[in-house]
Amino acid sequence: MQGLILAAGMGSRLKRLTQNQTKGMVRVNGVSLMERMLRQLAGLGLKRVIIVVGYEGEKLRDYVSKLNPGIETVFVNNEIYDKTNNIYSLYLAKEEMVKDDTILLESDLIFDDAVLRGLAEDERPNLAVVDKYESWMDGTCVEIDGEDRITAFIPGAEFDFNRCGAYWKTVNIYKFSKEFLRDCYFPFMEAYLCAAGRNQYYERVLQSVVAVDASVMRVRRIRDEKWYEIDDEQDLDIASSIFCPPGERAKKMFARYGGYWRYPGMLDFCYLVNPYFPPRKLIDELKSNFDVLLTQYPSGMAVNSMLAGKNFNIRAENIAVGNGAAELIKALMDNLEGKVGFIRPTFEEYPNRYGKENSVSFYPDNENYTYTARDVIDFFGDKDIKNLVLVNPDNPTGNYIPKKDMRGIAEWAEEKGIVFILDESFVDFSDEADPTFLRQETIERFPHLFVVKSISKSYGVPGLRLGVLASGDTRAIGRVKKDVSIWNINSFGEYYLQIAEKYKKDYLKALVRIRAERARFEKELSRIGGLRVIPSQANYVMAELTGKIGTEELTQVLLARYGILIKDLRVKMGGKKYIRLAVRNEEEDNVLLDALRKEMF
Same domain membership, residue 216 and residue 289: no
Name the least confident of 203-207, 220-224, 259-263, 493-497: 259-263
pLDDT for 107 beyond 90: yes
CB environment 510-540: b (16+ within 10 A), e (fewer): bbeebbebbeebbebbeebebbbbbbbbbbb
Name the least confident of 182-191, 264-273, 393-402: 264-273
Mean pLDDT, the chain, whole residue set: 94
Contact between residue 174 and residue 124 where contact means Cβ atoms under 8 Å apart: no
Same domain membership, residue 498 and residue 579: no
Average of per-residue pLDDT across 29-45:
95
pLDDT for 247 beyond 80: no
Residue 580 host element (H or E): strand 578-582
At residue 265, the pLDDT reads 78
Same domain membership, residue 456 and residue 532: no
405-408 — which CB contacts under 8 Å span 24+ positions? Answer: 405/372, 405/373, 405/374, 406/373, 406/437, 408/373, 408/377
Contact between residue 71 and residue 182 where contact means Cβ atoms under 8 Å apart: no
Listed residues 503, 531, 557: the one ending a domain: 503
Length of the chain: 601
The per-residue pLDDT for range 143-167, each reduced to its tens digit, is 999 999 999 888 888 889 888 889 9
Q: Alpha-carbon torsion 516, 519, 523, 526, what sign?
A: positive
Contact between residue 444 and residue 414 where contact means Cβ atoms under 8 Å apart: no
Cα 150 from Cα 423, distance rounded (Å): 54
13 CB-near residues (< 8 Å, 6+ apart): 231, 232
pLDDT for 263 beyond 90: no
At residue 262, the pLDDT reads 78
pLDDT for 230 beyond 90: yes
Listed residues 217, 238, 259: the one ending a domain: 238
| Total domain count, the chain | 3
The per-residue pLDDT for range 420-430, each reduced to its tens digit, is 999 999 999 99
Cα 219 from Cα 18, distance rounded (Å): 32
What is the CATH number for 388? 3.40.640.10
Same domain membership, residue 299 and residue 268: no
Same domain membership, residue 49 and residue 175: yes
Would you call 220 helix, strand, or coil by DSSP?
strand
pLDDT for 456 beyond 90: no
Same domain membership, residue 518 and residue 466: no
Average of per-residue pLDDT across 503-516:
97
Listed residues 503, 527, 546: the one ending a domain: 503
pLDDT band for position 482 (50/70/90)?
very high
Average of per-residue pLDDT across 178-190:
95
Percent of the chain with pLDDT over 90: 84
What secondary structure letter does DSSP report for 55? Answer: T
Beta strand pairing status for 168-176 and 102-106?
A: antiparallel
Same domain membership, residue 301 and residue 157: no
Same domain membership, residue 378 and residue 326: yes
Same domain membership, residue 58 and residue 152: yes
What is the CATH number for 91? 3.90.550.10
Would you call 470 helix, strand, or coil by DSSP?
strand
Contact between residue 452 and residue 332 where contact means Cβ atoms under 8 Å apart: yes
Compute the radius of gyration of the chain from its Cα atoms: 29
Same domain membership, residue 579 and residue 485: no
What is the CATH number for 523? 3.90.1150.10
pLDDT band for position 601 (50/70/90)?
low
Same domain membership, residue 535 and residue 512: yes
Domain extent, residue 338, equals 280-503
Same domain membership, residue 257 and residue 123: no
Amino acid identity at 107: S
